Amino acid sequence: MDRLTVLSPAKLNLVLDVLEKRPDGFHELRTVFERISLADRMTLTPYAGGQIRVRCDHPQVPQDSRNLAFKAAALLKENFHVKSGIDINIIKNIPVAAGLAGGSSNAASVLMGLNRLWSLGLDTKQLVRYAQRLGSDVAFFLYNSSFALGTGRGDLIEPLKARTKLWHVLVTPRVKMYTAEVFTRLKLKLTNKKDNVNILLPFLRTGDIKGLAGALSNDLEPVILSLRPEFFYLKRKLLDAGATGVCFSGSGPSVLALVQSQKHALSLRGKFDRRYNQVFVVSTL
């Protein structure tokens, strides 16, 4: 095979329950992932020179060994003693450090792409073990599933059978949020904890948008709002403009607005100021 071009999609978290801090420093999560149509385009080209080379058109994405896609390639190259090199080209559409797991998705695309290009014969379970060494969000993207339940660090994936196609307006303020900082500032409330995943799942299975809107939740929201109190007004504005429900994705700052239809999404998008925000109409992929 000459080269491989793939779409590397973003994710949203419809629910993010943080259960406890673990001895390894990570937090135990229960989350519902949704794969969405906003995607980077990646091209993997075998390269005789033996090195791993990353190119990306986004100025804030490192093009060296700090890049998660580079790390994914290095992991497989070392483990399987692959002599040939690889050129990884990333056209970035997913905002960086925005709660959308763009870098994790790129890493998963490299694992799956090199599995094919280098004929490694790894199955999903084996790929997951490499994904877990790269980051908590990487494993979800290895599954060909629009929705999935994530437990553990978010890296234990159970695909969900829901056939629902959701529409969203995704608003990403032009500020970065650092996942580690958000988790560090979290003060866990361990009493009377609701199981927000099980509240949401029946609505997801039946495609009940109003029910889903009421069930969106993110335990990291108090921390995100303490770091950026102005995001409270962003959520408010989305609701006032007609969003059915709103919620932060991951550790923010992206806010997902759940809407009834594509038409509804397009009309809502028109009401948002693009100077301060990146605004996308996206659907379940």
What is the bridge-based pairing of β-strands 85-91 and 52-56? parallel
| CB-based contact 96:68 (threshold 8 Å) | no
Quote the strand ranges of 82-135, DSSP E. Answer: 85-91
Residues forming beta bridges with residue 284, ordered by sequence position: 36
Is 11 catalytic? The answer is yes
Stretch that binds ligand C5P, among 57-65, 134-142, 167-175, 237-245 (CB under 6 A): 134-142
Out of 40, 71, 77, 137, the active site residue is 137
Stretch that binds ligand C5P, among 7-15, 40-48, 135-143, 266-274 (CB under 6 A): 135-143
Between CA 124 and CA 276 the distance in angstroms is: 40
Q: Among 17, 40, 137, 219, which residue sits at the site for ligand C5P (rule: CB under 6 A)?
A: 137
Binding flag, residue 67, ligand C5P (CB under 6 A): no
Residues 28-57 that bind ligand C5P (CB under 6 A): 29
Contacts of 230 (CB under 8 A, 6+ apart): none
Q: Among 153, 205, 228, 237, which residue sits at the site for ligand C5P (rule: CB under 6 A)?
A: 153
Binding flag, residue 13, ligand C5P (CB under 6 A): no
Between CA 91 and CA 97 the distance in angstroms is: 16
Stretch that binds ligand C5P, among 21-29, 37-45, 207-215, 256-264 (CB under 6 A): 21-29
H/E segment holding residue 222: helix 221-227
Between CA 204 and CA 215 the distance in angstroms is: 10
> Tokens 């929705």 sit at which residue?
147
Q: Among 7, 26, 116, 279, which residue sits at the site for ligand C5P (rule: CB under 6 A)?
A: 26
Stretch that binds ligand C5P, among 22-30, 57-65, 190-198, 232-240 (CB under 6 A): 22-30
Binding flag, residue 109, ligand C5P (CB under 6 A): no
State which residue, 150 or 245, has the beta carbon closest to ligand C5P. 150
Between CA 107 and CA 114 the distance in angstroms is: 11
Q: Among 8, 109, 136, 254, which residue sits at the site for ligand C5P (rule: CB under 6 A)?
A: 136
Binding flag, residue 179, ligand C5P (CB under 6 A): yes
Between CA 22 and CA 8 the distance in angstroms is: 30
Between CA 226 and CA 217 the distance in angstroms is: 17
**Contact set with ligand C5P (CB under 6 A):** 26-27, 29, 135-137, 153-154, 179-180, 183
- The catalytic site residues sit at 11, 137
